[in-house]
């Protein structure tokens, strides 16, 4: 049995509460998200203030990086104008997720916190926890990305065209007009309606795919690092930390590009 003075350290699937703002619970992953958001905002303001008409070495590097992203986006959108339209949102996803992923492996994140009493046992609760290792955060990001793809689609191709991608009312309305010339519409158009309903299920699958992929990879990496650190505090975790840096970069890029794909597909009329 554990002694009464034994402190339990766990790595839960859910984020731990560390306080309340009025009745709103504040979790350690939420604090980590706020920290990442603050870093993004501060860096953006600093970089904006340092932009010059004659770029220096660092500005040249940043401009080359942005151009590299835009070239990558062009391979998905097929149009630089659409790449420039989607880039602010997609790059915001990328940098926010990347910083959150990397914050989760910094010293102190997950190891500095407080001890609370739960069910008669002392439990250690860290102040910060990688936000993308919390399913609530990844689900929120996925929901925002999917909703943004629908909002963008409505603004670019119109509400009626976008609505008919899923409910195919136009296909039903076309049956009386086309049935004499093309009797096959009696079979084809109802199939289109059924396919549209499947598309709705596909939208829900996007949420699950985006959120669970990011959460699973980052959470598994943090558990791996914690396990390796428990075996040997210094030598063993170092290779895994470099691996997690790479995984964090790849996962941020995959999530952002998938959002870009959804934005690009949603902004194209069905007949195209």
> pLDDT tens-digit profile of 28-46?
888 888 889 999 999 888 8
What Å distances lie between residue 180 and 11, 13, 28, 176, CA to CA? 66, 60, 65, 8
User: For the sheet containing 113-118, what is the strand order?
Assistant: 7-8, 121-126, 113-118
List, in sequence order, every beta strand (DSSP E) within 100-211.
113-118, 121-126
Tell me the mean pLDDT in the region 40-66. 85
Q: How does DSSP classify residue 117?
A: E
91 pLDDT exceeds 90?
Answer: yes
pLDDT for 108 equals 63
Please count the other Cβ atoms lying within 10 Å of the Cβ belonging to residue 210: 23
Burial 65-97 (b: 16+ CB within 10 A, else e): eeeebeeebeebbeeeebbebbbebbbebbbbb
Please give the distance of CA 185 from its chain centroid, rounded to a whole number: 41
Helix or strand (DSSP H, E) at 225: helix 185-231
92/199: higher pLDDT: 92
Of 179 and 214, the one with more pLDDT:
214
Q: What is the pLDDT of residues 137-165, one digit of tens each?
A: 899 999 999 999 989 888 888 887 877 77
- The pTM for the full model equals 0.81
3 state SS of 153: helix
Distance CA 171, CA 187 (A): 11
Whether residue 118 is predicted with pLDDT greater than 60 in this model: the reply is no
Residue 255: the pLDDT is 93
């Amino acid at each position: 049995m554990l002694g009464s003075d034994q402190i339990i350290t766990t790595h839960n699937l859910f984020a731990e509460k560390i306080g309340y703002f009025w009745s709103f619970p504040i979790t350690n992953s939420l604090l980590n998200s706020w920290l990442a958001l603050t870093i993004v905002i501060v860096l953006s303001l600093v970089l904006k203030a340092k932009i010059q008409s004659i770029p220096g070495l660092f500005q040249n590097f940043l401009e080359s990086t942005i151009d590299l992203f835009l070239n990558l986006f062009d391979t998905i959108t097929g149009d630089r104008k659409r790449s420039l339209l989607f880039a602010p949102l997609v790059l915001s996803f990328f940098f926010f997720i990347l910083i959150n992923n990397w914050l989760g492996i910094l010293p102190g994140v997950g190891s500095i916190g407080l001890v609370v009493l739960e069910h008669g046992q002392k439990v250690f609760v860290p102040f910060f926890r990688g936000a993308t290792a919390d399913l609530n955060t990844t689900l929120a990001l996925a929901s925002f990305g999917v909703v943004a793809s629908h909002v963008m689609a409505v603004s670019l191709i119109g509400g009626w065209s976008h609505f008919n991608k899923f409910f195919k009312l136009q296909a039903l309305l076309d049956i009386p007009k086309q049935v004499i010339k093309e009797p096959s519409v009696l079979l084809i158009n109802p199939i289109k309606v059924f396919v549209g309903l499947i598309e709705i299920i596909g939208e829900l699958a996007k949420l699950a795919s985006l959120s669970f992929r990011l959460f699973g990879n980052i959470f598994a990496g943090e558990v791996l690092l914690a396990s390796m650190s428990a075996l040997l505090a210094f030598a063993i975790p170092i290779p895994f930390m470099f691996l997690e840096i790479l995984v964090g970069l790849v996962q941020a890029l995959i999530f952002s590009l998938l959002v870009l794909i959804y934005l690009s597909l949603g902004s194209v009329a069905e007949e195209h």
